[in-house]
Structure 1
Amino acid sequence: MGPVVIKLGSSIVCDDAGHPRSDVLAHVCDEAATLHADGRDVVIVTSGAIARGMGVLGLRMRPRAIDELQAASAVGQGQLYQVYDELLTVRGVATAQVLLTFFDISARTHYLNARQTLQRLLDWRVVPVINENDTTTTDEISFGDNDFLAAQVAILLGAEMLVLLTSTDGLFTADPRLDPSARLVPLVEDFEALGALDIRQTTSTLGSGGMRSKVVAAEMATAAGIPAVVANGRTSGVIAAAVAGERVGTRFPAREAAYSSFKLWLKYAKPAHGTITVDAGAARALRDGGTSLLPVGITAVGGGFDAGDAVDVVHGDEVVGKGISNYAEAELRRVLGLKSRQARDLLPRASEEAIHRDYFVLA
């Protein structure tokens, strides 16, 4: 059985002044230690380094410039981890600080190395405390918020459950701060039905996430066969209740895992560097037949991608899926629309498939 991945947002890690919420962190660490003592593996994914840095520096508003965010994170990260380490150490739990960037997840070799390291820590009965490495990340490769990071960690480790702790009781039909008639949604089994709800990507003074990012994270996790719960991290006992299957927060049941771990990585972690436009026949064959994509079905390419890059495969305005291209854009432009034999005559060492079915995943 995989670990329980617990994610804490900035709004429950730190107060509005950027000071750690000691009571919240204490009960979270209490519950993490109890799970650990019961033999479960536990991983904590935390936000709050920038918020803590803002508190130390006396900044009233979250910076916007990337260098200011990095500097605030550098000030706050060590202090934040120290809080977790002290709280868990006195409860008999060893911890390890792990800082990840988007590159660590999007590059396959780094992804596998991260998984091996985290699994070794769990084998040693250590609780990893994970945060994005804000000090070195850039606005081009940032996770944007740690909900995505937590979902990726859950998928990477084959987690038992993903628990997303926030400052509300779960997902509501509208923002309860703005709409007093908003109702808690206790169970989500159909993500498409959520389109009717007012789920905003709002941000707080300290944080960068919102409920929409939590729904996306839950969708990612459940697609990998991992149940997720969004719940109020300020409520004592909420983690234990979520793991026990009790009615708490908003529960997202696991769906049947349709993809291998490689294809989950491709679908959710590998960024696309270009587009391949296909005709109706190729789009239908990819969706319904599980076939490889051949040059003959391609009508256009764009984005400046290289062989080995991930690309979005589109038909009209619809994204059909994502795959690893066997061709660079310039090469594929020369053979698009050609049958495989014609493509090989033009580029003798070219692959028969533009994208092999083993390296393609539907959107």
Structure 2
Amino acid sequence: MSVAVVKLGSSVVADDAGALRLSAVARVCEEVALLHGSGVDVIVVTSGAIARGMHLLGLPVRPRAIEELQAASAVGQGRLYRTYDEHLRERGIQSAQVLLTFFDMSARTHYLNARRTLRKLLEWRIVPVINENDTTTTDEISFGDNDFLAAQVAVLVDASLLLLLTSTEGVFTADPRVDPGARLVDTVEDVSELAALDIGAATTALGSGGMRSKVVAAEMATAAGTPTVIGSGFEPGLLARAWAGEPGGTRFAPQTVRQSSFKLWLKYAKPSQGVVVVDAGAARALREGGTSLLPVGIVGVEGAFDAGDAVEVSASGTTVGKGIASYSADELRQVMGRKSAEIREILPRATEEAVHRDYFVLA
């Protein structure tokens, strides 16, 4: 199955006043239809529900209160999807509205259910139009202008391409709005190459993302083996060129060592419920030896969590990784620093590993 995930940012979908950019949306739908007609399955991830609601309600600035954002989204969501549906139907394509929340990605059973639903829609040659369900989300469980959501979807369906459409041509060596010497980065082989660049988190008046969130989304997708392109949503033909591997925007190459979808879900989607502090020896074993974390190497436990929750593992104030705890926080406090024989006396049915290596991912 060849799948392209195309994400439109708020700045592509709506102008600064919140009015829908009909020409931009129509052109992207035309390009989606052409690619779909060539046999490629396409998923559209769109931002802009809040912006659309703001315009319809006559709100001059983006609200700050969560209930106001949710209400604006409730007004704009249906109108926004209808625009995509009409443009795709005009081109003979059936679409389906799919609303997802962070919880749908962070809860493993929901994650797998979402995968099955999307795969069935693609099997039926339907174009899913996905947005975050802003009417029920909160600041604590938000995807951030849907960049993260788009990357999650790309991982979910094992996409062949992720295209993030924004208001700029791609990733620049500096902010082109303030630095006339800023140059477009054509290709990124390793996301760490961008560490020295001035990639800001500034957003548009209507959006909640920024270039930083797009780079993180690219990092996640390429770790799953999906090449990613960040480019302008106003550049005609970019989707076809991105699919063909031709120049345009900033292309992120898939990483050589591919991570499993489970570990990507754990790293990026499942929120940590606490912190397990380990000694230097345990940290070294996790980083270099790929071992499980045993209670004997734990020197501190922070927060309240249950067995099965995700926890951050840290040493000397630095995050080592994230894993699924085999013990609750209270149980770990009883057995931390102890060897297996002692642990069995305290908790007879306890497992040997505090975090099994199969359920741990490095930061």
Asked if Structure 1 and Structure 2 have the same fold, meaning a TM-score greater than 0.5 normalized by the shorter chain, the answer is yes
| Aligned partners of 2:10 and 2:145 also within 8 Å | no
Provide closer, same or farther for how the CA distance between residues 322 and 76 of structure 1 changes in structure 2, counting only shifts above 3 A: same
Corresponding residue for 1:207?
207
Q: Which residue of 1 aligns with 2:92?
A: 92
The answer for the alignment partner of 1:12 in structure 2 is 12
Written as runs of structure 1 = structure 2, the 5 A alignment for 1:211-222 is 211-222=211-222
* Shift of residue 257, structure 1, vs aligned partner: 4.2
In the alignment, is the contact (CA less than 8 A) between 2:190 and 2:253 conserved in 1?
no
Q: What is the CA-CA distance between 1:337 and the residue it aligns to?
A: 0.4
Distance 1:2 1:297 in 2: 45
Distance 2:206 2:145 in 1: 12
Q: Which residue of 2 aligns with 1:68?
A: 68
CA distance in 2, matches of 1:65, 1:165: 27
Contiguous gaps of at least 5 residues in structure 1: none
| Paired amino acid for 1:162 | L
Aligned equivalent of 2:161: 161
Tell me what 1:310 maps to. Answer: 310
Aligned position for 2:146: 146
Name the SS of the counterpart of 1:131 in structure 2: strand
Paired position in structure 2 for 1:281: 281
SS at match of 1:319: strand
Superposed CA deviations along residues 236-278 of structure 1, whole A, max 9, x for unmatched, are 1011111111110000011124322211111111111111111
Deviation at 1:174, TM superposition (A): 1.1
Counterpart in the other structure of 1:116: 116
**Larger deviation: 176-185 or 161-170?**
176-185
SS in 2 for 1:96: strand
Contact 2:292–2:353 (CA under 8 A) maintained in structure 1: yes
Deviation at 1:284, TM superposition (A): 1.3
Give the equivalent residue in structure 1 for 2:362. Answer: 362
Structure 2 residue identity aligned to 1:237:
G
- Opposite residue 292 of structure 2, the aligned amino acid is S
Query: What is the rounded CA distance, in whole Å, between the counterparts of 1:122 and 1:270 in structure 2?
Result: 26
- Name the structure 2 match of 1:51: 51
Partner of 2:320: 320
SS of the counterpart of 1:180? coil
* Deviations 1:80-123, CA, capped at 9 Å, x for gaps: 00000000001011000000000000000000000000110000
SS in 2 for 1:182: coil
* Count of aligned positions: 363
SS at 2:306 equivalent: coil
Counterpart code for 2:222: T
Match of 1:107, as an amino acid? Answer: A
In structure 2, the CA distance between the partners of 1:115 and 1:58, relative to structure 1 (3 Å rule), is same
Instruction: Using the TM superposition, give the Cα deviation of residue 230 of structure 1 relative to its aligned residue in structure 2, in angstroms.
Output: 0.4
Give the SS at the match of 1:140.
helix
Q: TM-score, normalised by structure 2?
A: 0.98
Name the counterpart of 1:336.
336
Determine whether 1:234 maps to 2:234. yes
- Structure 2 residue runs of 5 or longer lacking an equivalent are none
SS for the counterpart of 1:292 is: coil
Amino acid at match of 1:355: V
Of 133-142 and 255-264, deviating more is 255-264
Alignment check: 8 A CA contact 1:2 1:157 kept: no
Structure 1 residue matching 2:173: 3-state secondary structure: coil
Tell me the secondary structure at the aligned position of residue 188 of structure 2: coil
Q: Work out whether residues 298 and 337 of structure 2, in 8 Å CA contact, stay in contact via their aligned partners in 1.
A: yes
SS of the residue 1:168 aligns to: coil
Aligned twin of 1:266 = 266
Contact in 2 for aligned 1:4/1:160 (Cα 8 Å): yes
Aligned to 1:193: 193
1:145 Cα deviation from its structure 2 partner:
2.1
- What RMSD, in angstroms, separates the aligned Cα atoms of the two structures? 0.9
SS at match of 1:361: strand
SS at match of 2:144: coil
**2:173 corresponds to which letter in structure 1?**
T
Given the two structures, how large is their TM-score scaled by the length of structure 1? 0.98
Q: Does 1:25 align with 2:30?
A: no
> Aligned letter for 2:150?
A
Mean CA deviation greater in 192-201 or 156-165: 192-201
Structure 2 residue identity aligned to 1:326: S
